[in-house]
Structure 1
Amino acid sequence: MSTQLTGLELVGDIIREHYDLGEVQTPRPLEGTHQRRHRKMVVETSSGVFVAKTYKNDPITIDALYFQHHLSHHLEQNGLPVARIQPTRDGRTFVTLDTWCLELQEFIDGHCMFVNSTTLEISGSALGRFHQVCQGIPVPPRDTRKWRFSEVPRDIFERFYAMALQERNDAIVKGHYENLNLFLKQATEALDIDKRYAFETGLIHGDWHGGNLLFQGDQLKAIIDLEFAGDGCYLEDISYAV
């Protein structure tokens, strides 16, 4: 099949062709989200509201989608809330076209996590449960030593310190700087790349933060954005969460 992505109406036509959802309205862009890696759209249908996401059609992306959808189903089966993937008419989890793919997932009516003692406890418990239920399942290859956000750019830190001194050049500011500097030095030594094999690894979310946890009030409704999930250090998830 040869189809080019030319507009929202075309996406609607593809959905009507491949899904049994009754009447399908023309999709609209999903507000409040970036559209860098792929397009995200809201689709209203007779069967409910969904989020449509488009991806490039290449072997790496296809393999990643299969893994993400398998992981999403696994999490749901183990009691963790997710945005369910809507199957196509022929039972697949996404539509494959010539140069792009289309995925439909359940639209979650919620908001990003508001930080308070209750939501922090819920987030921590959910992350621990995520790590627990994912032990032993196959994971895509990922260099577990190359942790995201593990290196602090020293030049940026020094610029922040210089800006702080312009506002308040006293012993308190200098004391905070010395304490932070000592912490960064100790952290750099503890997380040296040659020592990272000492930390326990497994399947991690890879992007665990409040923007990827959808809440209704203080109730967690969905864990989203599994694109960075893979083999990694549990400490990476924990440190990014806090």
Structure 2
Amino acid sequence: MSNTHYAHGLGNELKLPDWPGIRMPELQRVLAQFPTAGVPQHILWHSPRPFSAAAEVRTTRGILFVKRHHQSVRSISDLAEEHKFIDHLRKKHLPVADILKTQDGETSVADDIWTYEVHQAGRGLDLYRDSPSWTAFRCPAHAFAAGTMLANLHKAAADFHAPPRHTRLLVANYRIFGTATPLDTLAAELQGRPALARFLTGRPWKADIRERLIDPFHPKAFALLRNEPSLRTHGDWHASNLLWSSPGEASTVTTILDFGLSDQTFALFDLATAIERNLISWLDAERGTPPVCNLEQLDALLHGYSSVTPLSNEALNKVSALLPLVHADFALSEIEYFAGILSNETDALIAYDLYLLGHADWFRQEGGKKLLSHLNELARQTA
């Protein structure tokens, strides 16, 4: 196997990864701390996902998925919060990957500047392993299956009780834009988020956010969503974070992966995130083509969800109001990651211009208006 692998960037092209790939010597050190791991034999695959390094590894006891984080991104306590939620879902018979434990019962270990977690390989086919976020399902049937499993996750999470994630970095939530005064909330948070504060200094961020996110979308979203029941949610419900029973249209979801962005939000936030992640062709913009929403797959996703938890006209109106803002808190976190952890001003600016602001702008253009109109029509039909 070549020592060179590539990672997903912010656009269509693969790039050299921000983090060095996992190698055999570190696997030998790390897996020795997990009694059930076995001895590593071969690295089968390097994940192209950003934000961390991960690899599929064959050992003398089977196939494992090893994920390595820089400690400034995820500490042992950060991972423990994720793993506690995964363990709860497992006890509720949700299909999640088993997490290996050390002899001391820990689910992650530190080594030098890194933090490692080790999972058993999930059951099923990794049909979307090379698909970046913002790419669609293969077919409407997969969208239906994903919607069904998302609703099952929300039912299983209903009695999970834990505080919000302690980290503000690379988690998906609605902590800022879900408040009555997002600009004031963000300004107060900047005191404890110096990298984000440095990036925003000298930019007209207050005017940008007010004119392009708050004024067009926030009053309606806040009025409709201010009392949503709190729920621990997945935060990154994309086809590539699911394993599948078969390649065809009869496929069902067999394993749920990657709870790294998970945080305390509410069910409709996760549903809106699933629409934003899978069904809007954001990457078309890089090719000079306006993004569009796959409305057939949107209907299938919503029908799948409704087959478990019916969506009322009120719920659909809330999703419509939330969609232009559902990305915004995470976009700020991504800016903080690029500007602070990686010192990558170029990608931080892309995240600001094209992600934070640009995705909101799209909802005032033809494609976005068509999506929101479609949801509003579904709501009228449901009433």
Q: Tell me the TM-score normalised to structure 1 length.
A: 0.69
CA–CA distance in structure 2, aligned partners of residues 50 and 223 of structure 1: 15
CA deviation string 1:59-101 (max 9, x = no partner): 9632220011111111111111112112223332112223211
Match of 1:11 in 2: 26
Letter in 2 for 1:211: S
Is the CA contact 1:145–1:196 (under 8 Å) kept in the aligned structure 2? Answer: no
Identical pairs, percent: 21
Q: 1:191-210, aligned counterparts within 5 Å?
A: 191=221, 193=222, 196-210=225-239
Name the CA shift for 1:22/1:196 in 2 (closer, same or farther; >3 Å): closer
Of the candidates 260, 264, 273, which is equivalent to residue 227 of structure 1? Answer: 260
SS where residue 226 of structure 1 aligns?
coil
SS where residue 27 of structure 1 aligns?
strand
Q: 1:138-153, aligned counterparts within 5 Å?
A: 138-141=162-165, 143-146=174-177
Answer 1 or 2: which has greater helix percent.
2
SS where residue 52 of structure 2 aligns?
coil
Name the CA shift for 1:58/1:188 in 2 (closer, same or farther; >3 Å): closer
Is the CA contact 2:244–2:254 (under 8 Å) kept in the aligned structure 1? Answer: yes
Greater radius of gyration (CA): 1
Q: Does 1:131 pair with 2:154?
A: yes
Q: 1:81-230, aligned counterparts within 5 Å?
A: 81-108=95-122, 109-112=124-127, 114-136=137-159, 137-141=161-165, 143-146=174-177, 189-191=219-221, 193=222, 196-217=225-246, 218-230=251-263
Is the CA contact 1:139–1:203 (under 8 Å) kept in the aligned structure 2? Answer: no
CA–CA distance in structure 1, aligned partners of residues 22 and 86 of structure 2: 28
- Corresponding residue pairs, total: 198
Letter in 2 for 1:138: A
CA–CA distance in structure 2, aligned partners of residues 219 and 6 of structure 1: 31
Match of 2:11 in 1: none
Match of 1:159 in 2: none
SS where residue 124 of structure 1 aligns?
helix
Answer 1 or 2: which has greater strand percent.
1
The offset of 1:121, in angstroms, is: 3.0
Is the CA contact 2:21–2:53 (under 8 Å) kept in the aligned structure 1? Answer: no
The offset of 1:53, in angstroms, is: 0.6
SS where residue 43 of structure 1 aligns?
strand
Is the CA contact 2:30–2:111 (under 8 Å) kept in the aligned structure 1? Answer: no
The offset of 1:134, in angstroms, is: 1.3
SS where residue 55 of structure 1 aligns?
strand
List gaps (5 residues or longer) in structure 2.
1-19, 129-136, 166-172, 179-214, 276-383
CA–CA distance in structure 2, aligned partners of residues 105 and 223 of structure 1: 12
CA deviation string 1:125-164 (max 9, x = no partner): 22112112212421424554537xxxxxxxxxxxxxxxxx
Letter in 2 for 1:64: D
List gaps (5 residues or longer) in structure 1.
148-184
CA–CA distance in structure 2, aligned partners of residues 219 and 96 of structure 1: 36
Indicate the RMSD between aligned Cα atoms, in angstroms. Answer: 2.9
CA–CA distance in structure 1, aligned partners of residues 45 and 140 of structure 2: 33
Name the CA shift for 1:77/1:105 in 2 (closer, same or farther; >3 Å): same
